[in-house]
Structure 1
């Protein structure tokens, strides 16, 4: 963990420089949820006990089953009976199958499952110059990575508005109030249906848009690249996803723990991977996305910043290797 904290501290120096010294950064706090959750020591299980590293015939998987809907899909994934404990079913099925077979079958069901070490470090593409250097930041994200990115932009002095659907609000304020205060306390808060024409109008005059949903889900709401950039060519869209914005990766589901393992951000002990922290891909991606956004704004750049959790985790895994 010390090596990771050193890498995060180095990334924090770049963030502070991009924010022109307006941000106070502490590496240890950046990776913490401020005591909202009763966490346990990491090992085969993540500290929140929602994700487990599972041995396959030829490798390892990271499997997240935090949601009831995902646990309900385990019989379809593994072939186990409906009365079998979900984790027992996954462990038994994986022992007889390859990691690739298990991962492909899980991804077809949109389960948050990844092969340990599968992701490559992310390399953001160069964005065109010609946009304004400041303006409204619209935060449509939820949970940790996206809100952390937007919260850092607010701390850096930018005007940030967090827009939430009344039917599906960000659950962080309910489950983790201390973290919610840190991530979202400095933002304006607006409740609005995400298909409301006023949202499109707001994005049309924004400088930055932050999302943390898959592109096809956003497109159903009219939030697609062609439409939004036609309306607002100077927009900087920070797109945070599990595995990437384009291609087959765009359909994949993932969370902070399984994406950290996908990036290889684990500790190997006698041939067995172990988690080294709590949902690490989330804060690392929020930090990275905020830094890239601040640098892009300073340079007057616009376009889509593709910042995947797994690829970001891979970058930090490489930094501490």
Structure 2
């Protein structure tokens, strides 16, 4: 059983009720998208995440997680720690991170775009995503929801898969220059998340591709994204302009730490975000351990889908501000895992 099962059950019950209003009731667990067991090599969780990309380590004043999921993350370690370059980033972390505070390490990670977090730094009572009113709402909709899924990896595509299973018409839009990494790294999981969606590749660095994307969004009921605000602005997706042109739609913004304020600058993946939200087990001697594979992702995917459907029920015109770390923190509270770091 998942260590965050109580949170998943709570969101799943809401999801079944909401999807029944808009089409077919959906059991997300039955779709095979709530975990990746058997679909890629995974080790038992411990100080390392099951995929081995994220590790827990002790800073001067407490525990942290850093995720070296991308090649460029490894290259950032010397600048992050202020040390000479080496061949093993984990050895550099072991040698130099213990003399720095968690706050200093988080601040440095934010500046560099490195996914790192203090264990348990985010607290929330519920995994529910905040809904931010940005449009007038009330736009008439067709017989089937039209969804543009511009997201990648797990949580955002999971939201799109749930909406597709409920009967929505979902178009997965990928950059032809930077396609969804899951397509290559885990093709069967990619199929489960995206197989019921229409595929559309666009050159999002080209003005014509950006114009095509905006046309799709202006005709949609729901947009799902998983990039930070500044990246979407570079695609010509200005929040105020989009809601002015399509006042009744719902924008599901999946981010690491939230859409607004300084938190919007932070990068996160499922394992470091789970640690930030306190989804860890503590040993008798006070050391944290991972509890599973990227546990922030499935709870965020469910929260995103619930938020999207709740926003539509309320008439649209809302941004669903769903974050990996916030969803994990809510799941930790609901599942009885909350503890001060």
Q: Tell me the TM-score normalized by structure 2.
A: 0.89
Give the whole-Å Cα distance in 1 for the aligned partners of 2:140 and 2:290. Answer: 42
Query: Offset of 1:126 from its aligned partner?
Result: 5.6
Aligned 8 A contact 2:118 2:276 in 1 = yes
Corresponding residue SS for 1:19: helix
Task: Tell me the alpha carbon deviations over residues 19-60 of structure 1, each in whole angstroms, 9 at most, x when there is no partner.
Answer: 115212328944311522110010110000000011011111
Aligned 8 A contact 1:12 1:27 in 2 = no
Pair 211,103 (structure 1): closer, same or farther in 2 beyond 3 Å: same
Match among 63, 66, 70 for residue 63 of structure 1: 66
Task: Tell me the alpha carbon deviations over residues 58-93 of structure 1, each in whole angstroms, 9 at most, x when there is no partner.
Answer: 111110012111101111111232224211111222
Give the whole-Å Cα distance in 2 for the aligned partners of 1:84 and 1:182. Answer: 37
Q: Tell me the TM-score normalized by structure 1.
A: 0.95
Query: Offset of 1:288 from its aligned partner?
Result: 0.7
Report what 1:165 is aligned to: 175
Aligned 8 A contact 1:203 1:209 in 2 = yes
Pair 320,101 (structure 1): closer, same or farther in 2 beyond 3 Å: same
Aligned 8 A contact 1:34 1:178 in 2 = no
- Give the alignment of 1:59-208 within 5 angstroms: 59-121=62-124, 124-125=130-131, 127=133, 129-132=137-140, 135-194=145-204, 195=207, 196=209, 197-208=211-222
Corresponding residue SS for 2:164: helix
Report what 2:279 is aligned to: 265
1:274 aligns with 2:289: yes
Task: Tell me the alpha carbon deviations over residues 110-155 of structure 1, each in whole angstroms, 9 at most, x when there is no partner.
Answer: 1000111111326513646523455310000001010000110000
Pair 34,188 (structure 1): closer, same or farther in 2 beyond 3 Å: farther
Pair 2,279 (structure 1): closer, same or farther in 2 beyond 3 Å: closer
Task: Tell me the alpha carbon deviations over residues 164-206 of structure 1, each in whole angstroms, 9 at most, x when there is no partner.
Answer: 1111111212111111111101001111122521111111111
Report what 2:339 is aligned to: none
Give the whole-Å Cα distance in 2 for the aligned partners of 1:314 and 1:302. Answer: 26
Pair 63,279 (structure 1): closer, same or farther in 2 beyond 3 Å: same
Higher mean alpha-carbon deviation, 20-29 vs 248-257, is at 20-29
Match among 255, 264, 270 for residue 269 of structure 2: 255
Query: Offset of 1:290 from its aligned partner?
Result: 0.4
Corresponding residue SS for 2:200: strand
Aligned 8 A contact 2:12 2:27 in 1 = no
Count of matched residue pairs: 321
Give the whole-Å Cα distance in 1 for the aligned partners of 2:31 and 2:319. Answer: 30
1:238 aligns with 2:252: yes
Corresponding residue SS for 1:243: coil
